[in-house]
Every structure is written in C-alpha cells, then in structure tokens.
Structure 1
Amino acid sequence: MRHSLLVEEYRGSVLENVHFGVVCGVDEHGQVIYSAGDDMHVTYLRSAAKPFQAIPVAKQKIDEKFGLTSREAALFTASHRGEAYHLEGLEAILQKTGIAEDELLTCPTYPLNDEPRSACLAQGVAKRRLFHNCAGKHLGTLALSKELGYSTHDYYEHTHPAQQAALDTFAYLAQFPKEQIQLGVDGCGFPVFALPLRHIAIAYLKLACPDLIEDTKTREAVVKITGWMTENPDIIASHNFICTALLTDSNIIAKGGAMGVYGFALKKERISFSLKVLDGSELVWPLVIASILEQINYGNKETIDRLHALVPREIKNDNQLIVGEKRAVFTLEKK
C-alpha cells in the first residue's frame, strides 16, 4: 500500500509523532487530479456515509410528510454532539413522526460534548438512546420504514429494503459496482461501506455538483440534503468541530467519519477530496484539510483560518506555554 506522511508533531526539536495517510482529489469528470498516496486505497466511510444514507429518506419527502423543519431534517445527516439545540430537534422528530425512543437501536449514552455531558451527570440525567451521535440517522431510516410499510424491528440489517436503497444509491453516485462494495457494521449498528478513496471522492463530487446526477429523483434529493447541511452547519456537528467549520462556507459540502476518514467537495471549483489518516486520528483533520486548500489556492481564506483556529500549529503544555509544533508535510501530486 502506498501512503504519504501527512503530519509531523515536534516537541522542541524532537520529532515525537507522525501521521501517515492518503489523499485523493477528483475533478468534475471523476478523474484524479491530486493525490498523496494510493488513490485506490480501500477504507470504510463510517459517518462520512450519512449524507448518502439520507438520500432515500429525502426521496420519499419524509421531511415534508411529517412537517419537519430544515434544522430537524439536517439531523438525518448529522453526527450530533448532544447540545441543547440537537436534542430539541431530535425530540421534535420523535413527536412529529410518532417514533418511540426505544425503537432506536442506538445504545443509551451521554452527549459527546463536555458541557452537556457534565450537565447530565450533575443533574442525574440517565443515559438516552437519543444522546447517541447517530440518533438522527437512525430516526431517518425508521421514519422511512414506517412511511413505506417496511418492518422496523430490523431496520438496521443490511438486507432491510431501506438499507439496500441506501447502498444502491451510494453505489450509483460513487460509480462503483454495488457487489464490490465491502460491508461491515458501524459503531451504531448500521451497515458501513468500504471502497476506494477515489470513488468516495466521486460520490462527494455529486453532492457539490448535483447537475452531474442523471436520475432526477436522486438529484432532487441531493439538492435537498445539501441544503439542510449548508443551512444548518451547527447541527451537523457543533461549535469547535471541523464539519461545522467547513459547512459554514456555503461553497463546501463536507462530512467526516470515525477512524480518520473525511470527504469534502467544492461547488464552484467542481472538485472533491477524500482522505484517510491511517492511524485513525481525527485531531489532524483541520491541519490536513487546511493544507489541501492552501495547496490548491482556495480563495476563501476565512475558511482556512477557521481550520487553523480549531487545531493551532503550536503545541502548548498545561501552562499554555508553546513547547512544540504540528506541521503538514505532504505535497499533493498533480496528475
């Protein structure tokens, strides 16, 4: 497997940590135009698949049928962090769809963000299925299953018609044979897809450039979903997280997944990128993506600045003294 050294971390003058990975960028024709490492490296999308898994939900106009707002529907694509505004939307979906919380497969947990988690512990609030960061995705598939008369007790099985619809749609957008997509089980219990980074980038390209999608219903669903994401960047993750920082730029569609996989696409430039940090680290995403944007001379410097603010180059100790630095050290190879 061919990979690239993406990030070095120095403490003083000593190299302390390294992060290897792979980056792939494609143009509007699906051709690889930038790379660092093997663009055919196979990886699971994990939560980076959520926008695609929501397409069957949008196709059936679940948001309209149940009177959901854009902020509520955006949760179908989100990895929420348990903030009050996330819970408000999730509770509204339960109320409007008639889904009971115990119908969700997601395991009871506490919010991911420190402040709401601490508040739950201080107030003696019990763990909830709704606190799980994949609860929105599960609610979308449950609502779709109820609307179409599918069984709901097994809505998460890969053989379930709602899951097969998501897989069919993703394979179509990624321009990759469905039977060659490798399946695993995600942390939340949903099927998760593995395929080459090049085809993940191609799928993300379609999110930014829906005019490339021939099927009318799929194209309309993608326009709706990306609208939810762009209108509600804080819903997709939360403050101080990269997905929200990128989606604040209306020119970008972006979503990350566990274990270091990320996909993002630029609308005006009509290019997209996928990447995988091989040690699974998500902490270096902002540095890597900022470097990609800098190397392609991306015009919105505010977006790059937001990424650097999330993960500063300087490494500080507990006393907030600068003791080292992080460096993005890869160079994109132009094809």
Structure 2
Amino acid sequence: MKAFEGFDVLVEEYRAGILENVHYGAITVVNDKGEVIHHVGNPNHETYLRSAAKPFQAIPGMKRDIDEVYGLSSAETALFAASHRGEDYHIDALHSIAKKTGIKEDQLYCCATYPLNEEAKSERLRNREEKRRIFHNCSGKHMGLIATAKHMGWDEASYYELSHPIQQEIIQSLAELADVPVEQIGIGVDGCGLPVHTLPLDRIALAYLKLANPDLIADESTRHAAAKIAARMNENPNMIADRKFVCSALLKDPNLVAKGGAKGVYGIGLRKERIGISLKVSDGSEQVWPVIIATILERIGYQNQDTIDRLYEVVPNTIYNDGGMVVGERKAVFNWS
C-alpha cells in the first residue's frame, strides 16, 4: 500500500506561521439509509475499531439486563462501554461491580497497569502502589463480559477467546449493526487481549448511527440492548473517559452517542439528524480529534454550540509552549465530497 493511500490532509499545525506538522486521515458521514453523504478520503478504508467497539461489545450483557441481574447502578453499567482513565470515582465503581458480581480482579485478562489519567497515575505512584488490572482502561469491559458469562453459565475463564460464545455473539451483533456478513469482519488482538474487529469506515458510521437511533435495528433484543448502553453512556459521560477527554465532552450532549478508540479511530451517532460519522487519523493521533469533530459539526450546521465549544476546550486550536506562551495554531483544512 502506498503511503497515505485513501487518506487526505485533515489538520495542519503551524508554529510562528510555518507549517510544522500534518495529520492525514479519512472521514465518512452516512444517512439513515446507510448512504455516504459526505466523505474525506476513502469511505471504504478498513480499520480496527479498537475501543470504539466497546458499546457493541456490551450488547450481549445488555440483552440479558445484567445490570438488573446484579443490581448495578447506571454509572457502574456505563463502565462496560468505557475507556476509563483510572480516576478515583472509576476505581470505586469498579470495586462496587466486583463486590456485586463476585468477580475477582485476577479473573480479568487485561494486564496490570497504571491509570491513563496522569494525575491519577501520579497519586498511585506517590502512594507506592503497584500496577493493577483494575487500573487498566478496559477493565470495565472485561468485568461486563465475565459477569455476562457467569450469568449465562458459560465458562468464565476463557471469555477472552475468539471461540467463546460471548465473543461470537459480539461479532454477530457488530455484523448486524454494520450490515455486513460476519465473515467480512477482520479479527485481531486488542491491547487488552480481547478480539478486536475491523470494518470499513462507512460501516462504522452506520453502526454508530444505529446505536444512536435503535429504531433502525431490526432485532428487538439487539434494539433494546443498543438503546440501553447508549443511554448509560449519555447519563454518565465522565465514566466513559474522564472529566477532560473528548468522549466525555461529546456524551454530555444527549443528542450524541460517541466513542473513540486507539490509533485515531472515532465513531459518532446523531439522534435528531439521523446520521452516523466515523473518522480515522492515519498517524493515530487523538489530540486532533476535537478540532476534526468540531469542524464536522460546524460543517453540518449543528445547532448545539455548547458541544462544539466543549471540544475546543479539551484541545484548543491555539498551541502553547511549556510556559504558556502562544506559539502556533492548528487548523482543520479538509474539504469533503
């Protein structure tokens, strides 16, 4: 594959008026008929969803209402779709899930690590705490899968294996929302050790459209599950990442359901407008997500300016040096078809 094939320039960064950095990528917007209505780059570019798959990975549990089975709160349930960054309120909720479900920390297949949030990590280091599996940003997802396996009488120890019933059901659910045959979904291994899936960008956009608009989902149980996990994400935006991250900034808007994944992939569904959006930054940067997403919303004439403003607060377009001096700017420069 040629360098940047299928990608166009999305963002340029300038220092003292001189171009310093360029971010390439692709964007796709679909309507409620699944038709591509806007795109930058190749809408058929296939990419791993990474953590953008988490809402879909929560569907088997939501089909069984495992939150009600175990008496979980709305905030605790949201962690099944989260890439939490290890703040105290995340860890407290995870301990609560473990107590209510009987799950032991050593059952989690994800590795021991420190929190992604720098302040939370520093606090753990100051306290001379060891790395823990519960600190891993995917630990909520793992707990949800184990809890579902436990409730269904499936083997709990092998929940992470591709052949496990819960992993096979996840693939089926993703195929249903993306409207693709199961055999066309590529499978790899994610950072946390679970199977991770590939889809073309237009199919990712369609899946997020249906997550936001579950009336488009034919199967009743899947429709119920998608509506439930999306609602929990909106009810608890800070559970999905933390108080200073793009996912939480977007989910504070009840019109949006949104989730990003590692290496620059992002999915958004809009309820009122009934459109789905996906994007991939080719260099994997998450820092340019806010300017890209804010610009997309501006281009479609999105009415909630507070949401756009929150994105620019997460990562301003003004670039500062370590001392707080203004030294440059970043610009979204893409044009779409």
| TM interval, short-chain normalised | over 0.9
Within 5 Å, which residues of 2 pair with 1:96-175? Answer: 96-175=100-179
Show the counterpart of 1:57: 61
1:260 corresponds to which of 259, 264, 284 = 264
The DSSP-based 3-state class of the residue aligned with 1:85 is: helix
Shift of residue 332, structure 1, vs aligned partner:
2.2
Shift of residue 301, structure 1, vs aligned partner:
0.6
Kindly provide the amino acid, as one letter, of the partner of residue 267 in structure 2: G
Structure 2 residue runs of 5 or longer lacking an equivalent are none
Show the counterpart of 1:21: 25
| Counterparts of 1:262 and 1:301, CA distance in 2 | 20
Show the counterpart of 1:303: 307
Show the counterpart of 2:72: 68
| Counterparts of 2:325 and 2:89, CA distance in 1 | 35
Within 5 Å, which residues of 2 pair with 1:196-215? Answer: 196-215=200-219
Deviations 1:134-182 (A, max 9, x none): 0000001101111111112211011111000011000011001110111
Shift of residue 311, structure 1, vs aligned partner:
1.1
Shift of residue 248, structure 1, vs aligned partner:
0.4
| Counterparts of 1:87 and 1:38, CA distance in 2 | 40
Shift of residue 2, structure 1, vs aligned partner:
2.2
Range with greater deviation from structure 2 (315-324 or 203-212) = 315-324
1:294 corresponds to which of 298, 308, 320 = 298
1:279 corresponds to which of 278, 283, 296 = 283
| Counterparts of 1:322 and 1:195, CA distance in 2 | 40
Kindly provide the amino acid, as one letter, of the partner of residue 59 in structure 1: K
Show the counterpart of 2:86: 82
Quick check: 1:295–1:332 contact (8 Å CA) kept in 2? no
TM-score by length of 2: 0.98
Structure 1 residue runs of 5 or longer lacking an equivalent are none
| Counterparts of 1:118 and 1:322, CA distance in 2 | 27
| Counterparts of 1:132 and 1:6, CA distance in 2 | 31
| Counterparts of 1:316 and 1:70, CA distance in 2 | 38
The DSSP-based 3-state class of the residue aligned with 2:242 is: coil
Within 5 Å, which residues of 2 pair with 1:172-211? Answer: 172-211=176-215
Shift of residue 61, structure 1, vs aligned partner:
1.1
TM-score by length of 1: 0.98
Range with greater deviation from structure 2 (43-52 or 318-327) = 318-327
Show the counterpart of 1:326: 330
Shift of residue 15, structure 1, vs aligned partner:
0.7
The DSSP-based 3-state class of the residue aligned with 1:239 is: coil
| Counterparts of 2:147 and 2:71, CA distance in 1 | 12
Quick check: 1:27–1:271 contact (8 Å CA) kept in 2? yes
Range with greater deviation from structure 2 (108-117 or 39-48) = 108-117
| Counterparts of 2:314 and 2:336, CA distance in 1 | 22
Of all paired residues, the percent bearing the same amino acid is: 56
| Counterparts of 1:240 and 1:37, CA distance in 2 | 29
Shift of residue 106, structure 1, vs aligned partner:
1.1
| Counterparts of 2:129 and 2:210, CA distance in 1 | 42
The DSSP-based 3-state class of the residue aligned with 1:259 is: helix
| Counterparts of 1:123 and 1:276, CA distance in 2 | 38
Kindly provide the amino acid, as one letter, of the partner of residue 80 in structure 2: F
Runs of 4+ in 1 over 6 A off after TM superposition: none
| Counterparts of 1:315 and 1:84, CA distance in 2 | 30
The DSSP-based 3-state class of the residue aligned with 2:308 is: helix
Range with greater deviation from structure 2 (116-125 or 49-58) = 116-125
The DSSP-based 3-state class of the residue aligned with 2:263 is: coil
1:93 corresponds to which of 94, 97, 100 = 97
Shift of residue 319, structure 1, vs aligned partner:
2.0
| Counterparts of 1:89 and 1:117, CA distance in 2 | 17
